[in-house]
Structure 1
Amino acid sequence: MNAPKNSHDVSLPFPRDRQEMAALGWAVCDFVFVSGDAFVDNASFGPAIIARVLNDLGYRVGVIAQPKWDSAEAFRVLGRPRLAFLVSSGNMDSMVCHYTVNKKRRHDDAYTPGGKTGARPDRAVITYCGRIREAWGSVPIVIGGVEASLRRFAHYDYWQDRVRRPILFDSGADLLVYGMGEKAIAEVAEALDAGLPIDQITYIRGTGVMAKQAPDDAYVLPSYETVSERTRGGKRAFAEMTNMIELSANPFREAPLIQACGDRYFVQNPPQMPLTTQEMDDVYDLPYTNCQLGGGPEITGMSEMRFSITSNRGCFGSCAFCAIGMQQGRIVSSRSNASILREAKRMTQDPKFKGIINDVGGPTANFLHPACAKQLKTGPCDHRECLFPEVCPNIDADQSEFTAMLKAVRQLPGVRKVFVRSGIRYDYLMADQTDAAFNELVRYHVSGQLRVAPEHLSDRVLHYMGKPTFKQYDRFVQKFNRACDKYHLKQYIVPYFISSHPGSTLQDAVILAEYLRDHHLEPEQVQDFYPTPGSRATAMYYTGLDLESFKPIHIPKGHEKRLQRALLQYRNPKNRSLVIEALKKCGREDLIGPGRKCLVHPQQQRPIRNKRSRRNRKGGK
């Protein structure tokens, strides 16, 4: 990245009003960034990264964080930007941020100071763009972030239970930056700065635009009108569209992807190439201050993020319920050890640092390079996954980089502990021909509990999830326990499970509950499948189809979702009546009663508990 052209104090690089602009000697902002989150100048936050990248390139960026949206007035505080407004809902889709899987309003907001709710509107990107148009008319508007990226095509909206149009149509914005947007936004800024009208900026990778005519060389998706039909043919078209979109995530595919909507087209240009190691270093070496603009109570989890390090991005795991591949791509990029060490050293100089780095990782902590050399030449395989149903024989499972990086960070003066909390792929770890990375992780980098995600017990459900068989998880648990015994460590595996995933029946949930019983596991939290935009599993939920065979599969909905979730927390007295109902529906009354193998007593008021305490339990024994 180039050195900044402006020389104002980096401790306050992003003004929030005209008074702060005047203090910096600015008459006008080049860009005004509107965000649905509190603005935190930390590299864990997408808006901060984009603002810092633009600032580093010499552009003046003002910030309007969590504006009041009941009028256009809050969008006038920084004046009309010279180049464009940038709009993001923040680190999450605003609907996911606001509502639980049961469509109930959440009681707190993790990205608002003090956790208060109500600081952003539903469908924040659309609302903000409408107010900007009200305030400034035809000013250029560029949208990006998770909400815009994952809604860029026609998408199923769980909260309205219908297919919505591509978000560019509903927002009225001019251009969409999808994925990890550093390269794309730099090119957009350069074009705008050169005087090119925004309606002529139609060619940049990693962006999407609306067009009146379809490009000749494009891949054509089924139209919005087709995929929004609630017919067998419409749902089949939606499933086919989902598969085509997934293939388009390959940056080596040169043709754009288009989708008709009315008399216009959404045109997605091919993705940007993943950042190189040097480019990743440049992004994360920018002078982030960890300050929350506007002060006030810190957002939830800021203390955790302040002392966590992002080492990589992208994921070749391809879990069906996850949209990281659509957002960050399937080709992994990583930082150099030198850059990671520089960030760790800065942490040790923070007065609040207590010697513990909470996490070094990314979407998957032990993915530090592409899955194989082929990915850097032609991209991910079109019809083959790297880890599913078995680990690909061509995969590069050498995790010596992972080992060396963790060792270097933990040996820094002032660092007492370095934990890996962002999750690992145990099947990939087990594929390494040496045990060096495994032993390093177990011996030095587990904070008492290692969180892994087998997700389910049924191999049929795991197939729909795109996850390895449960036998692989069992082998991992056994190896983990042997290593803990070898090093005389009292450490435990905490498995995460998903209830009511597409393809999961009530009988599958009962079998999973029996596993939890037999292994003395009491999950404090269960992830009930949440059909969020952009994932393959959401497409399965809406269409009721397996996306490979296009055959119907079982889709838990409504009350059955509550029954499946209750079974995974059958010890909770609040779930007793739901558990009994579920067991009766499955013909498993043998699990109702006072016996040791029973899940619930018909009159029981207190949960059944095993004699072994939670502290003494191991995940697989």
Structure 2
Amino acid sequence: MILNDFLPVNKADLLKLEWDYLDFILVSGDAYVDHPSFGPVVIARVLLDAGYRVGIIAQPDWNDPNSIDILGEPRLGFLVSAGNMDSMVNHYYVSRRHRETDNYSEGGAMGKRPDRATLVYTNLIRKKYKDKPIILGGIEASLRRFAHYDYWDDSVRRSILFDSAADLLIYGMGENQVVEIAEYLNNGIEVQYIQHIPGTCYLTKSLENLDQYIEIPSFESVKNDKIQYAQAFKVQYDEQDPIRGKTIVQRHSETYLVQNPPTMPLERARLDWVFKLGYMRNYHPMYEAGGGIPAIKEVKMGIISERGCFGNCSFCALAFHQGRIITSRSHESIIEEAKMIQMDVDYKGYINDVGGPTANFRHPACKKQLKVGTCKHRQCLHPEPCEHLDTDHSDYVELLKKLRHLEGIKKVFIRSGIRYDYLMHDQEDAFFYDLCQYHVSGQLKVAPEHIDETVLDYMGKPSGKLYGQFVKKFDQINKELQKEQYIIPYLMSSHPGSTIHSAIKLAEYLRDINYTPEQVQDFYPTPGTMSTCMYYTEIDPRTMKPVFVPKSNKEKAMQRALLQYKNPRNYDLVYEALILAGRQDLIGFHVKALIKPRTNVPKAGGSKKSKSSKRKTPSSKTSINSIEKTKKRR
């Protein structure tokens, strides 16, 4: 069924719909925004279309047991998601300091959801309804499905299925899985017997019903041995393919976590269907008085055109969550959504984005992926683009042209990011010219992340040389088009493999291009990424070789400061970093200097020194040891 209204959030809504029961109740850590960019709502709408009655409890008060009972007891079960973000990332900066705002809550207020929301909500439900099936989903559960390093605890935690006491976990994009689970429950199959659905995880005491599987080191092993942690992660990473992926088993004490192979990505027709399920495309009216939900502003005038990413950046969890196989929506579906956007009262003539995880990935990387799966030991773009890579942008060019020519559209922007290595590998320049001519708002944001080749290799990013070629071509095309447009690079400090020498090299590059980034992202170790495995184990799981990891707060602060060396507040950190690295040549008044020397001029009278001369160069054993380790490895 299609419901052209908000889903019920209280019993009054049930009366309005003349529903005397609900099949499922979805509990979410986000406020209720009825838009296809919000994963929990998509799942609710998909179940509704399959004929099930679904209600939403958004951000229940975890201190009040009755908050989970406002819609009564569902007939078939509860669905639990922390929301569009991991609740710990939502709450904390990489420094572990509390964030001030939550864009997924009313008025941007912090404190509407608990830390580790999936666990808290599930335990809240279990106290009230001891035997009711509970199914986990969303990014927080998906990326914590195995034993995993938790940055905030600085320890290895069990699979979230154990700590939550839920019955099933849906990982990845969950439309197929949740409908199949609903059908089994509706047919009277008890939840403990639903163990074969692709894209799900479950717990079992026995493996006798499994024919073929890979058993990775146990929770106890990976908690106590970093080499085994890296080995386990490598298997998890390698098997995330819906065609060739194997069942993976990980023992936790006397119980096994079983991950079934990933589900196939939705076919185009079904993806189109997901985006026309009667969304209200706004936050629930109950939030209006409190200032609404800020997160809607970023997506309301944008269009998701595809899913999946074969870019495989080491610090990104997309490959582990959405997978590497691209599925894109049809032109007709996207144009229909563009027309719906034009009907919004806030529409000003601009489509803010047409993209996805990577905007210019509109089709699978190569034809064989849909037959034999993605390559197990070969990436599509790194270290060099694969010879079988299909870099045809013509479909995207045609789609954007159709959108530009729709009546009432002034401009169509691309803001979700492009892979410039993929673009540069295309033998045709049609998209590059159209990008500069029509789809940049004066500044194009791209993510080279770094310039040091060693760091880029650990990141799974293209070479700094290629980035330079891209910038040169961007400038050349804009000159031809008589446009003044600029590239804004996203940069990351303190990624595994990045030494003080690496950060200085990036600072020198920024000096040479006369660019000072307003913001720099410190590497954030979050569950499910290759880089987080490197951070915790200090091992590259691809090679099982050691990797240098900057971990002390002081060293990370120095690397970050180097990328903003012009900021006076960073002077002491930059000075210390240059001294530690033996790069005094970058301190001076010459054109290549990053900073000026300290002033050590005695005051008149002779003996007293200025405040600056009293400052001693701070010494950090951790930083010095890090430099020495780097020198030895080199």
For Structure 1 versus Structure 2, the TM-score category normalised by the shorter chain is over 0.9
Which residue of the partner structure matches residue 204 of structure 1? 197
Which one of the candidate residues 121, 135, 140 is aligned to 1:142? 135
Q: Over residues 420-474 of structure 1, what are the superposed CA-to-partner deviations in whole Å (9 max), with x where a residue is unaligned?
A: 0000000101111111111111111011111111111111111111111111111
Q: Over residues 207-257 of structure 1, what are the superposed CA-to-partner deviations in whole Å (9 max), with x where a residue is unaligned?
A: 11001112342111111010000xxxx111111111111122110136411
Which residue of the partner structure matches residue 599 of structure 1? 594
Query: What is the alpha-carbon distance in structure 2 between the residues aligned to residue 133 and residue 258 of structure 1?
Result: 26
The answer to whether structure 1 residue 313 and structure 2 residue 304 are counterparts is no
Query: What is the alpha-carbon distance in structure 2 between the residues aligned to residue 131 and residue 71 of structure 1?
Result: 9
Return the offset for 1:595.
3.4
Which residue of the partner structure matches residue 608 of structure 1? none
Task: Describe the SS at the equivalent of 2:237.
Answer: helix
The answer to whether structure 1 residue 398 and structure 2 residue 389 are counterparts is no
Which residue of the partner structure matches residue 283 of structure 1? 274
Counterpart code for 2:187: A
| Identity across the alignment (%) | 52
Query: What is the alpha-carbon distance in structure 1 between the residues aligned to residue 587 and residue 101 of structure 2?
Result: 37
Return the offset for 1:516.
0.6
Query: What is the alpha-carbon distance in structure 2 between the residues aligned to residue 575 and residue 28 of structure 1?
Result: 60
What is the RMSD of the two structures over their aligned residues, measured on CA atoms? 1.3
Q: Is the 8 A contact 1:359 1:422 kept in 2?
A: yes
Return the offset for 1:79.
0.7
Query: What is the alpha-carbon distance in structure 2 between the residues aligned to residue 51 and residue 554 of structure 1?
Result: 44
Return the offset for 1:603.
5.1
Which residue of the partner structure matches residue 49 of structure 2? 56
Which residue of the partner structure matches residue 626 of structure 2? none
Query: What is the alpha-carbon distance in structure 2 between the residues aligned to residue 271 and residue 546 of structure 1?
Result: 24
Which residue of the partner structure matches residue 218 of structure 1? 213
Which residue of the partner structure matches residue 261 of structure 2? 270
Which one of the candidate residues 258, 261, 264 is aligned to 2:249? 258
Task: Describe the SS at the equivalent of 2:282.
Answer: coil
Q: Is the 8 A contact 2:360 2:418 kept in 1?
A: yes
Which one of the candidate residues 213, 238, 252 is aligned to 1:247? 238
Which one of the candidate residues 513, 521, 530 is aligned to 1:527? 521
Q: Is the 8 A contact 1:93 1:146 kept in 2?
A: yes
Query: What is the alpha-carbon distance in structure 2 between the residues aligned to residue 593 and residue 457 of structure 1?
Result: 24
Q: Over residues 140-188 of structure 1, what are the superposed CA-to-partner deviations in whole Å (9 max), with x where a residue is unaligned?
A: 1000000000000010000111110000000010000000001111111
Which residue of the partner structure matches residue 102 of structure 2? 109
Task: Describe the SS at the equivalent of 2:496.
Answer: coil
Q: Over residues 536-569 of structure 1, what are the superposed CA-to-partner deviations in whole Å (9 max), with x where a residue is unaligned?
A: 0000000001222212111001221111111111
Task: Describe the SS at the equivalent of 1:377.
Answer: helix
The answer to whether structure 1 residue 572 and structure 2 residue 567 are counterparts is yes
Counterpart code for 2:244: R
Task: Describe the SS at the equivalent of 2:540.
Answer: coil
Which residue of the partner structure matches residue 162 of structure 2? 169
Which residue of the partner structure matches residue 490 of structure 1? 484
Return the offset for 1:299.
2.1
Query: What is the alpha-carbon distance in structure 1 between the residues aligned to residue 245 and residue 113 of structure 2?
Result: 37
The answer to whether structure 1 residue 157 and structure 2 residue 184 are counterparts is no
Q: Is the 8 A contact 1:502 1:537 kept in 2?
A: yes
Query: What is the alpha-carbon distance in structure 2 between the residues aligned to residue 289 and residue 71 of structure 1?
Result: 29
Which has the larger displacement, 374-383 or 431-440?
Answer: 431-440
Q: Is the 8 A contact 1:439 1:483 kept in 2?
A: yes
Return the offset for 1:386.
0.3
Query: What is the alpha-carbon distance in structure 2 between the residues aligned to residue 66 and residue 83 of structure 1?
Result: 21
Task: Describe the SS at the equivalent of 2:539.
Answer: coil
Task: Describe the SS at the equivalent of 2:434.
Answer: helix
Q: Is the 8 A contact 2:24 2:55 kept in 1?
A: yes
Task: Describe the SS at the equivalent of 2:55.
Answer: strand
Which one of the candidate residues 583, 586, 590 is aligned to 2:585? 590
Which one of the candidate residues 76, 83, 89 is aligned to 2:82? 89
Q: Is the 8 A contact 2:282 2:296 kept in 1?
A: no
Return the offset for 1:351.
2.0
Q: Is the 8 A contact 2:268 2:329 kept in 1?
A: yes
Q: Is the 8 A contact 1:477 1:493 kept in 2?
A: yes
Which residue of the partner structure matches residue 464 of structure 1? 458
Q: Quick one: structure 1 residues 30 and 474, their matched pair in 2 at CA, closer, same or farther if it must change by over 3 Å?
A: same
Which residue of the partner structure matches residue 605 of structure 2? none
Query: What is the alpha-carbon distance in structure 1 between the residues aligned to residue 212 and residue 128 of structure 2?
Result: 38
Which residue of the partner structure matches residue 617 of structure 1? none
Which residue of the partner structure matches residue 612 of structure 1? none
Which one of the candidate residues 105, 118, 124 is aligned to 1:131? 124
Q: Is the 8 A contact 1:178 1:207 kept in 2?
A: yes
Task: Describe the SS at the equivalent of 1:32.
Answer: strand
Query: What is the alpha-carbon distance in structure 1 between the residues aligned to residue 245 and residue 321 of structure 2?
Result: 18
Query: What is the alpha-carbon distance in structure 2 between the residues aligned to residue 602 and residue 35 of structure 1?
Result: 54
Between the two proteins, the alignment pairs up a number of residues equal to: 594
Which one of the candidate residues 284, 287, 290 is aligned to 1:295? 287
Q: Is the 8 A contact 1:39 1:47 kept in 2?
A: no
TM-score (norm 1): 0.94
Query: What is the alpha-carbon distance in structure 2 between the residues aligned to residue 301 and residue 136 of structure 1?
Result: 32
Show structure 2 runs of 5+ residues with no match: 600-610, 612-634
Return the offset for 1:94.
0.5
Task: Describe the SS at the equivalent of 2:287.
Answer: coil
Return the offset for 1:592.
2.5
Query: What is the alpha-carbon distance in structure 2 between the residues aligned to residue 190 and residue 251 of structure 1?
Result: 22
Which residue of the partner structure matches residue 38 of structure 1? 31
Which residue of the partner structure matches residue 615 of structure 1? none
Counterpart code for 1:295: Y
Return the offset for 1:113.
1.6
Runs of 4+ in 1 over 6 A off after TM superposition: none
Task: Describe the SS at the equivalent of 2:283.
Answer: coil
Return the offset for 1:590.
2.5
**Which of these two proteins has the greater Rg computed from alpha carbons?**
2
Return the offset for 1:199.
0.7
